[in-house]
Amino acid sequence: MNTSLTDSTQASVPLPRQGSEATGPGSPTAAPTRPNRRPDTQPGTHRHRHRPQPAMTRLRPGAATRATLALAVPAAVGGATGHAALGGVAGIAGLLTALTDLGYDMRSWRNLQFTAVLMPVMVVFGVLLTPNHLLLAMLFATTMGFAGLLYAVSPLTKAATMGPALCVVIVAGMHIPRRDGAAAFAAAVAGVLFALVLSLVAAQIRHTARHDPRPLGQTLFAAWTAVRSEIRSPRNAVVAYAAVLALVSFASLLVATLIDPAHAFWVAMAAVVIVKPDPITTLKRAFQRLLGTIVAIGVTVGLVALDLPTGFVIAVVAGMLFVGVAFVTASPVVAAFGTAPLPLVGAVGSSAATQVLGSHRVIDTAAGISVSIVTMIAFQLLLHQLERRRRGHDPAGASPEGGDGAS
């Protein structure tokens, strides 16, 4: 579960401010600036050129602590009270909410609020749509496509929508009866509130503000402007990225219902968390994801085979999750290493069951990665053919005067 959301969990790119910074370019105390000779390479560079970029590779022990507690505490309470499924719902909702906040203070607070509102609603959809794989795939694809469009605002804003989208698939895989939909909603609310409390406590410890000084309307308008400008751009890379995410999400769930319907969310998560706007980066992340999953499953199965106490194995898995979140923006291999063993926790009391689930986890991860790569290649070939046809119908488009020549 690398929300990417996992990734679904990436560094935030703050929205542009309206000249209110004390040291901004228009302030009397601002230092002389030179034109930026190397704009960002991500989509929408004409808008993101002067935005400060947080360090992508610094460790995040605070975020790792919050994410681990947000999952472990509700799950433990649910198990102790005899409601393991509802505790799992609360823990998953809390974990995916916590992964939205990587410690960027007010720049991630709006995203965290958005995730907190959307998460319980998506949990209900996950419960209601469990028997209907087609509707579930359509909802999953639509939400992931919307998340791809929000990449025009920032990667972390995209992750704020990917978390609830993944929650739909995970909850559907838990097969919670419809009559327990209200209880699942309440459990998700409890898990989200617990994650928000952890975030606020961390802010008090660090003495940092947890609010955005801009009005909500101004924030939403800035986000809409960024998305609209990207859609209207002649080189709308964000739109292509959103389309790939939607296609991969839809195809992965349909394939999952054929090869492993009991664990369809494993295939879907492995497929969507590796998708990036750049195909080369996607291939690289696919290899890293598979490698991290194989190592994590091997370690977990080995610990269970040694007949170690169940509590010790669960503690090790929790420690792996902590390490995975701490390195979530630094190493996809370690991020996969931290999240891959989580579905095996319920079977750590049996070596045979752990081996079976572990092998399914690796196979489903490979299947999801394969779906993602094939879909992206097919989409890139389609774009190439459409571009060739457009140039064939518009000979001037290939010349510099037509706006499509080399620059």
If DSSP codes are grouped into helix, strand and coil, which group holds residue 209? coil
SS3 of 3-61: EHHHHECCCCCCCCCCCCCCCCCCCCCCCCCCCCCCCCCCCCHHHHCCCCCCCCCCCCH
Question: How many of the other CB atoms lie within 10 Å of CB of 127?
Answer: 25
Residue 235: band (very low, low, confident or very high) from pLDDT cuts 50, 70, 90 = low
Query: Which pLDDT belongs to residue 340?
Result: 83
Q: Is the pLDDT of residue 154 over 70?
A: yes
Q: Is the pLDDT of residue 34 over 60?
A: no
CB 244 within 8 A of CB 275: yes
pTM of the model: 0.76
Query: Which pLDDT belongs to residue 48?
Result: 41
pLDDT cut 90: percent of the chain above it: 23
Residues 237-254 have a mean pLDDT of: 90
Query: Which pLDDT belongs to residue 330?
Result: 61
Residue 29: partners with Cβ closer than 8 Å, 6 or more residues away: 22, 23
**Average pLDDT score, the chain:** 77
CB 361 within 8 A of CB 293: yes
Residues 363-368 have a mean pLDDT of: 91
Task: Tell me the CA distances in angstroms from 63 to 94, 157, 178, 207, one per residue in order.
Answer: 12, 17, 33, 16
Residues 364-384 have a mean pLDDT of: 89
Most confidently predicted of 197-206, 215-224, 296-305, 389-398: 296-305
Query: Which pLDDT belongs to residue 40?
Result: 41
pLDDT digits (tens, 9 = 90+) for 248-273: 999 999 888 888 777 888 898 889 98
Query: Which pLDDT belongs to residue 110?
Result: 77
Backbone angles phi, psi at 8, to 5 degrees: -45, 20
Query: Which pLDDT belongs to residue 250?
Result: 94
pLDDT cut 70: percent of the chain above it: 74
Segment holding 93, helix H or strand E: helix 84-98
Query: Which pLDDT belongs to residue 211?
Result: 59
Span of 23-32, 51-60, 285-294 with lowest mean pLDDT: 23-32
Q: Is the pLDDT of residue 19 over 60?
A: no
Residues 329-347 have a mean pLDDT of: 77
The larger pLDDT score, comparing residue 219 to residue 281, is at: 281
Q: Is the pLDDT of residue 224 over 90?
A: no
The larger pLDDT score, comparing residue 191 to residue 16, is at: 191
The larger pLDDT score, comparing residue 233 to residue 21, is at: 233
Query: Which pLDDT belongs to residue 195?
Result: 92
Q: Is the pLDDT of residue 139 over 90?
A: yes
Structure tokens at 109: 């607070």
